[in-house]
């Protein structure tokens, strides 16, 4: 099931946690929302084994207060592996898995994600997706490499560029939302090849470097606009029949170095994402 923020609020995440039985694994860049913390604490009290991986240095700081609050819930908490804890390299993933249920999205577990931002969340019962998420989580929990297996089901970084380029090359119009841009050459080449068939929406508070990249894309025919409200934290590539959501921005660091997790959706979910993106794009401005 697909949820669009900020309209859906925090309820889908809380509901997922409450429905967990026996085990719940969470990997998130940030987890500070008090409602979610209470839901985690309640799950632990009901006998659920909860494990949480968080980024070691979100926004360049060490989250000592955050990790203390997480441990106070009774959950087992670890920092991400050190290979995802270097300068400009992060564990930026946002997903949960419990049994054969998975949740993958673009939202950090913060108040702003569910009340101020444009975000997308998918939850569902799919044994293949759940197994792939468990494999990635267990590898990162144990500070091992996840291997190739999960990539058959997930869009996984490091190494997500080729999969997203294939998504961009889908026939007909494609609509994109990204908080960041950067100069990933295969991504930019795929966008330029789409030309006016690509609609790219970026946040109005985009930095100067990414604005220069956006102007370059616009000069090659890509339709580029900027959204003021809600804040565009989403990461989305959508066509009428196929769409990607996940934690990956379109930047080289996100695609080549970070831990990121995404998913390709089809059918009604893809159409809903495409329609939402086009509505957002219609509300965007040229600067």
pLDDT score of 63 more than 80: no
Every domain of the chain with CATH number 3.30.870.10 lies at 2-151, 161-283
pLDDT score of 138 more than 80: yes
154 close to 42: Cβ distance less than 8 angstroms: no
- The arithmetic mean of pLDDT across residues 38-54, rounded, is 98
Which tens digits make up the pLDDT trace of 6-17?
A: 999 999 999 999
Q: What is the pLDDT of residue 62?
A: 66
Q: What is the pLDDT of residue 22?
A: 96
Fold of 2-151: Endonuclease; Chain A (3.30.870)
* Confidence band for 260, pLDDT divided at 50, 70 and 90: very high
pTM value surpassing 0.85: yes
Share of the chain above pLDDT 90, in %: 93
Share of the chain above pLDDT 70, in %: 98
Within 10 A of 141 (CB to CB), how many other CB atoms are there? 17
Picking from 37-51, 59-73, 197-211, which range would have the lowest pLDDT averaged per residue? 59-73
Which tens digits make up the pLDDT trace of 160-209?
A: 999 999 999 999 999 999 999 999 999 999 999 999 999 999 999 999 99
- Residue 250 CA to residue 187 CA, distance in Å, equals 7
Q: What is the pLDDT of residue 234?
A: 97
Q: What is the pLDDT of residue 86?
A: 83
pLDDT score of 61 more than 80: no
Fold of 161-283: Endonuclease; Chain A (3.30.870)
């Amino acid at each position: 099931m697909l949820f669009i923020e900020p309209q859906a609020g925090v309820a889908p995440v809380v509901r997922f946690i409450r429905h967990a039985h026996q085990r719940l694994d969470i990997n998130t860049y940030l987890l500070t929302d008090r409602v979610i913390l209470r839901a985690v604490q309640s799950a632990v009290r009901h006998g659920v084994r909860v494990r949480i991986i968080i980024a070691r240095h979100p926004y360049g700081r060490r989250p000592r207060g955050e990790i203390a609050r997480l441990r106070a819930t009774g959950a087992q908490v670890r920092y991400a592996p050190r290979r995802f804890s270097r300068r400009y390299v992060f564990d930026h993933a946002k997903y949960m898995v419990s049994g054969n249920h998975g949740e993958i999205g673009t939202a950090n577990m913060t108040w702003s994600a569910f009340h101020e931002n444009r975000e997308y969340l998918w939850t569902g019962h799919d044994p293949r997706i759940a197994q792939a998420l468990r494999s990635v989580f267990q590898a990162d929990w144990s500070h091992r490499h996840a291997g190739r297996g999960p990539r058959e089901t997930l869009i996984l970084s490091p190494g997500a560029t080729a999969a997203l380029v294939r998504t961009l090359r889908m026939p007909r119009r494609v609509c994109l939302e990204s908080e960041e841009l950067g100069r990933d050459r295969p991504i930019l080449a795929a966008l330029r090849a789409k030309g006016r068939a690509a609609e790219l929406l970026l946040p109005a508070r985009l930095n100067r470097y990414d604005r220069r990249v956006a102007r370059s894309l616009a000069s090659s025919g890509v339709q580029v606009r900027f959204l003021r409200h809600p804040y565009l934290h989403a990461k989305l590539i959508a066509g009428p029949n196929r769409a990607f959501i996940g934690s990956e921005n379109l930047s080289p660091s996100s695609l080549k170095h970070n831990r990121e997790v995404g998913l390709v959706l089809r059918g009604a979910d893809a159409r809903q994402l495409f329609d939402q993106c086009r509505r957002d794009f219609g509300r965007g401005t040229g600067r």
